[in-house]
């Protein structure tokens, strides 16, 4: 029964469209207390005094805790696997509450009250005084040193640095016919998931239970244990349906504080939900990164050398830290065949909101600057940007020279580029839109990308799955991997059904994760689940199938016991002849008086593989010079993500990612007050997130090259669609106007400034 490759409907579709799906807020118990957090109104300083007596005296207030009441040690917060090796452990620089303020809105105290109104009133009754220091908001400024530093352990504010050089960059640059040096900057942006971070916590006996909206339930459990200094087995985390995360919930946010709060009130249930404004300021953002790039080329278009310096604005706490900038430095080695490469990447503490994981994990920033550089180099030597890329791309298989076994096991980037160019009519429009005049101008642009599938070998990859044969011949599937809206539960259902020869309707997957019950898995991130968790699901299904056929030999007629048996459409077959129904076998396995035993399989695997996915984006835009506004006329993403497991779900992923990429390129940016560090546009009214009225028709295509390392020939697709639209739009703007703009978003204000500087208005 073929299910992989088919567009079956989502297994959670009916529950979600009917409103039956239970999210965290739908499960809040009666008489649950409400917690609210007091945030500092400065970006850097210390709490000089704090008085909670008036708040504690307010009727309905159950407890007030401050930074003086929480454990004194620090803990890490990112959604990375832990490691027995200290060098692979994350930076522990966070406390539940703090008296040392490091960004505007840092957490000072918390109120627990009988209801939300009382908790909000109590916050206003806490009296605080601060000793304020001058904030620093930009990484290069912070690297000059601040008094005091953002964290005392890093006097130069540099959290981490990584460097490498392959070949001889300076020598190669000296031999180039043309050398180009440029600086770029990407903005701070927010994830803008529909459901804000929310949890409720309570105690069962001496164990803390936290129900929360998270991408990483097993990691949340570990970090709560670390934050509170208690055994990890004393913590249970439950993840219901989740209303989006995009990487923000690949971070342990306020769950440890909520766990502490319930313990502070004797285990009574406590709800802690962030407002939209708190979500902007007090969760995580996509890093703003500044780049200095240099490249040298021959007059025939061959890149001889390229050099990168990256300065990542980490904000006030380490979070995912240097992994973001380092991921871009790794990608600098991919896609284009350049023998001489150098990269220096710095991640720097500042007093800005904290940077963390966001869809693409540093590659949207890197791809923007790298692909803009490619167009600018092509312009410098008067070569068509597509032909310039063709000349420098790797052909077929290649591997990372540093991170084994990261490789392009299949490489469809040239075919992606060809299909995108054909769709957009590249050659015709590149010629048609040359030498334009007037107030309305058009251009076409492109961008390519590569993206890893998972985190090995940089970090641990482990995944688990469990299958149970039911009495009616259907199966129960449990995974620790988190369904966060991307459709992983549906894909896992298809994979299990494919191996077992079942209809997807006979595979019942549990969409809630519970760390007491579900197999261990590190969670939803790094476009890993279909590839990594899918491998565990496939192996688990193969093991269950083997056990079923072994048991079948004890039940079938004597003449079939030495024959090869197979399983298809809920029938045990000998050749093509049904000899036993799966339902009959399953019923017998549960209730036989002589040989009853439930047939199950349970797999946990450390998976040591990785592979590169590829893709291209082509965009056609119109620029209104009088309005300084860009309109997208047409746009397409073409992806090499290996075998597509569910085409309809894959299309959904691409459409969603393209929307995010367009917002990144045209309108989204978190603005900070340069004097105070306060977020100026921390609401969905002021933060210019594209709506359906701003979105063009989105087009897509797939190049399906089956990757030999994927469980079904598949590789990354979750994050890649968000990566290339921004540089493709910028390069289309370059074609339309001749102006290379090296900072996004290309908002009307920025477009106006560029047009004015170029004397086009």
Q: Is residue 712 part of a domain?
A: yes
175: in domain: no
Mean pLDDT, rounded, for 549-565? 93
Is the domain of 37 the same as that of 81?
Answer: yes
The domain boundary residue, chosen from 588, 606, 624: 606
Quick one: pLDDT at residue 377?
Answer: 98
First and final C-alpha spacing in the chain: 63
Nearest to residue 698, comparing CAs of 682, 721, 727, 730? 721
Domain count, the chain: 3
pLDDT tens by residue, 714-749:
999 999 999 999 999 999 999 999 999 999 999 999
The pLDDT of residue 240 is: 97
Judge if 586 and 618 occupy the same domain.
no
* 569 falls within a domain: yes
Tokens, residue 579: 């000899």
Give me the half-sphere count of Cα atoms (radius 13 Å) on the Cβ side of residue 497. Answer: 24
CB 344 within 8 A of CB 310: yes
Question: How large is the average pLDDT for residues 395-414?
Answer: 96
Helix (H) or strand (E) holding 460: none
DSSP per-residue letters across 556-604: S-GGGTTS-EEEETTEEEETTEEEEEHHHHHHHHHH-TTT----EEEEE
Handedness of CA 166, 170, 172, 177 (dihedral sign): positive
User: Is beta strand 178-185 parallel, antiparallel or unpaired with respect to 398-399?
Assistant: unpaired
Query: Cβ(247)–Cβ(361) under 8 Å?
Result: yes
CB 352 within 8 A of CB 149: no
pLDDT in tens, 656-714: 999 999 999 999 999 999 999 999 999 999 999 999 999 999 999 999 999 999 999 99
The Cα–Cα gap between 449 and 366 comes to: 10
Task: For residue 94, give its domain range.
Answer: 31-133+197-273
Tokens at 345, concatenated: 């990447």
The strand pairing partners of 179, in sequence order, are 296
Looking at the structure, do residues 446 and 333 belong to the same domain, yes or no? yes
Looking at the structure, tell me whether residues 357 and 391 fall in a common domain.
yes
Given 585, 606, 627, the domain boundary residue is 606
% of residues, the chain, pLDDT over 90: 98
Compute the radius of gyration of the chain from its Cα atoms: 27
The 10s digit of each residue's pLDDT in 615-631 is: 999 999 999 999 999 99
Statement to judge: residues 250 and 262 lie in one domain: yes
State pTM to two decimals: 0.96
* pLDDT over 80 at 1, yes or no: no
Q: Of 545, 453, 547, 530, nearest to 495 (Cα)?
A: 530
Residues in the chain: 761
Q: How far apart are CA 620 and CA 424, in angstroms?
A: 7
Spatial distance between the Cα atoms of 175 and 178, rounded to a whole number of angstroms: 9
Which residues contact residue 614 at a Cβ distance below 8 angstroms, ignoring those fewer than 6 apart?
Answer: 335, 408, 411, 412, 413, 416, 448, 449, 450, 451, 639, 640
Q: pLDDT for 13-36, tens place per residue?
A: 999 999 999 999 999 999 999 999
Please give the pLDDT value at position 404.
87
- Predicted confidence at residue 376, as pLDDT, reads 98
Let me know if residue 140 belongs to a domain: no
CATH assignment at residue 555:
3.30.365.10
> If pLDDT is split at 50, 70 and 90, which confidence band does 174 have?
very high
- Residue 316 confidence (pLDDT) above 80: yes
Q: Is residue 280 part of a domain?
A: no
108, two tokens: 């000072």
Q: In the structure, what pLDDT confidence band is assigned to residue 96 with cuts at 50, 70 and 90?
A: very high
- At 227-276, the pLDDT tens digits run 999 999 999 999 999 999 999 999 999 999 999 999 999 999 999 999 99
Note every long-range contact of 649-654, with CB atoms under 8 Å and residues 24 or more positions apart, other chains counting.
649/7, 649/10, 649/486, 649/487, 649/490, 649/491, 650/702, 650/717, 651/700, 652/487, 653/486, 653/487, 653/717, 653/718, 653/721, 654/698, 654/700, 654/717, 654/721
Name the pLDDT band for 535 (thresholds 50, 70, 90).
Answer: very high
One DSSP character per residue, 684-752 reads TTTS----GGG----EEEE-----TTSTTSB---SSGGGSSHHHHHHHHHHHHHS----BS---HHHHH
Joined tokens for residue 351: 């007093």
One domain for residues 498 and 368: no
Residues 312 and 395 grouped into a single domain: yes
∠ CA 653-655-660, nearest 5°, is 95
Instruction: Specify the residue for token string 């896992």.
Output: 492
Same structural domain, 630 and 739: yes
Tell me: do 99 and 247 sit in the same domain: yes
User: How far apart, in Å, are the Cα atoms of 331 and each of 31, 192, 360, 370, 525?
Assistant: 51, 26, 12, 10, 18
pLDDT of residue 71: 98
Considering the domain architecture, whether residues 210 and 323 belong to the same structural domain is answered as no
Measuring CA to CA, which residue among 472, 450, 464, 433 is closest to residue 539? 464
Examine residue 405 and say whether the peptide bond preceding it is cis (omega within 30 degrees of 0): yes
Cβ atoms of residues 637 and 482 within 8 Å: no
Give exposure, 123-133, as e/b (b: 16+ Cβ within 10 Å): bebbebebeeb
Q: For the residues 416-421, what does the mean pLDDT come to?
A: 98
Average pLDDT over residues 101-110: 98
Please check whether residue 44 lies inside any domain of the structure: yes
The whole-number pLDDT of residue 573 equals: 96
Give a yes or no: residue 427 inside a domain.
yes
Question: pLDDT > 70: what percent of the chain?
Answer: 100
- Whether the upstream peptide bond of residue 148 has omega within 30° of 0, thus cis, is yes
Instruction: Indicate if 733 and 644 belong to the same structural domain.
Output: yes
Residue 107 covered by a domain: yes
Average pLDDT over residues 46-72: 98
Q: Which of 606, 624, 648 is the last residue of a domain?
A: 606
Report residue 471's pLDDT band, with 50, 70 and 90 as the boundaries: very high
User: Is residue 314 domain-shared with residue 266, that is, in the same domain?
Assistant: no
């Amino acid at each position: 029964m073929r299910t992989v490759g088919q567009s079956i409907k989502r297994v959670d579709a009916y529950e979600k469209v009917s409103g039956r799906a239970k999210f965290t807020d739908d499960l809040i118990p009666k008489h649950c207390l409400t917690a609210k957090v007091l945030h500092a109104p400065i970006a850097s300083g210390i709490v000089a005094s704090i008085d909670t007596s008036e708040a504690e005296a307010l009727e309905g207030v159950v407890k007030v805790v401050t930074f003086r009441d929480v454990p004194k040690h620090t803990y890490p917060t990112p959604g990375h696997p832990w490691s027995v090796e200290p060098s692979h452990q994350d930076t522990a620089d966070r406390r539940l509450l703090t008296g040392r303020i490091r960004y505007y809105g840092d957490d000072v105290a918390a109120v627990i009250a009988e209801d939300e109104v009382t908790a909000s009133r109590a916050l206003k009754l806490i009296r605080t005084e601060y000793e304020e220091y001058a904030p620093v908001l930009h990484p290069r400024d912070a690297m000059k040193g601040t008094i005091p530093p953002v964290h005392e352990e890093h006097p130069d504010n540099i959290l981490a640095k990584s460097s490498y050089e392959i070949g001889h960059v300076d020598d190669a640059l000296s031999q180039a016919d043309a050398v180009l040096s440029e600086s770029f900057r990407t903005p701070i942006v927010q994830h803008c998931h529909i459901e804000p971070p929310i949890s409720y916590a309570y105690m069962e006996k001496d164990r803390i239970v936290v129900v929360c909206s998270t991408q990483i339930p097993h990691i949340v459990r570990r970090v709560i244990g670390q934050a509170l200094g208690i055994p990890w087995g004393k913590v249970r985390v439950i993840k219901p349906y989740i209303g989006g995360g995009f990487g923000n919930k690949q971070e342990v946010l306020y769950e440890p504080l909520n766990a502490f709060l319930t313990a502070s009130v004797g285990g009574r249930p406590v709800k802690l939900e962030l407002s939209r404004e708190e979500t902007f300021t007090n969760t995580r953002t996509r890093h703003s990164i500044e780049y200095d790039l240099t490249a040298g080329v021959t007059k025939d278009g061959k890149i001889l050398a390229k050099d990168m310096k990256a300065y990542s604005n980490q904000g006030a706490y380490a979070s995912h830290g240097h992994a973001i900038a380092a991921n871009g430095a790794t990608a600098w080695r991919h896609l284009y065949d350049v023998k001489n490469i150098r990269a220096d990447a710095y991640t720097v503490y500042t007093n800005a909101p904290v940077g963390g994981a966001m869809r693409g994990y540093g590659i949207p920033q890197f791809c923007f600057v790298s692909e803009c550089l490619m167009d600018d180099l092509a312009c410098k030597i008067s070569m068509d940007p597509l032909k310039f890329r063709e000349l420098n791309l790797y052909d077929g298989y290649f591997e990372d020279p540093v991170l084994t076994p990261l490789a392009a096991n299949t490489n469809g980037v040239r075919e992606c580029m060809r299909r995108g160019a054909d769709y957009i009519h590249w050659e015709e429009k590149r010629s048609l839109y040359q030498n334009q005049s007037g107030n309305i101008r058009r251009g076409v642009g492109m961008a390519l990308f590569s993206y890893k599938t998972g985190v090995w070998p940089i970090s641990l990859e482990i995944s688990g799955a469990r299958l149970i044969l039911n009495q009616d011949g259907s199966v129960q599937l449990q995974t620790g991997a988190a369904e966060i809206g991307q459709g992983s539960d549906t894909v896992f259902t298809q994979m299990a059904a494919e191996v077992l020869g079942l209809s997807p309707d006979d595979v019942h997957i549990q969409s809630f994760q519970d760390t007491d019950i579900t197999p261990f898995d590190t969670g939803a991130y790094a476009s890993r689940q279909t590839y990594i968790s899918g491998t565990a699901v496939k192996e688990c299904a193969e093991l269950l199938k083997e056990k079923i056929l072994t048991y079948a030999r004890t039940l079938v007629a004597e003449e079939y016991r030495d024959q090869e048996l197979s399983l298809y459409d809920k029938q045990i077959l000998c050749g093509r002849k049904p000899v036993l129904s799966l339902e009959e076998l399953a019923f017998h396995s549960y209730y036989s008086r002589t040989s009853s035993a439930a047939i199950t399989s349970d797999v946990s695997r450390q998976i040591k593989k990785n592979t590169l996915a590829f893709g291209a984006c082509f965009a056609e835009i119109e620029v209104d010079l009088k309005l300084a506004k860009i309109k997208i006329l047409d746009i397409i993403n073409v992806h090499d993500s290996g075998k597509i497991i569910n085409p309809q779900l894959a299309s959904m992923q691409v459409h969603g990612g393209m929307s995010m990429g367009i917002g990144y390129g045209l309108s989204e940016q978190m603005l900070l007050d340069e004097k105070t560090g306060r977020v100026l546009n921390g609401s969905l009214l002021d933060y210019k997130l594209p709506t359906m009225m701003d979105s063009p028709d989105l087009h897509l295509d797939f190049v399906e090259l089956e990757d030999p390392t994927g469980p079904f020939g598949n590789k990354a697709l979750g994050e890649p669609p968000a990566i290339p639209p921004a540089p493709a739009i910028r390069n289309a703007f370059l074609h339309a106007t001749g102006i290379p703009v090296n900072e996004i978003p290309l908002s009307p204000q920025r477009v106006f400034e560029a047009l004015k500087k170029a004397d086009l208005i």
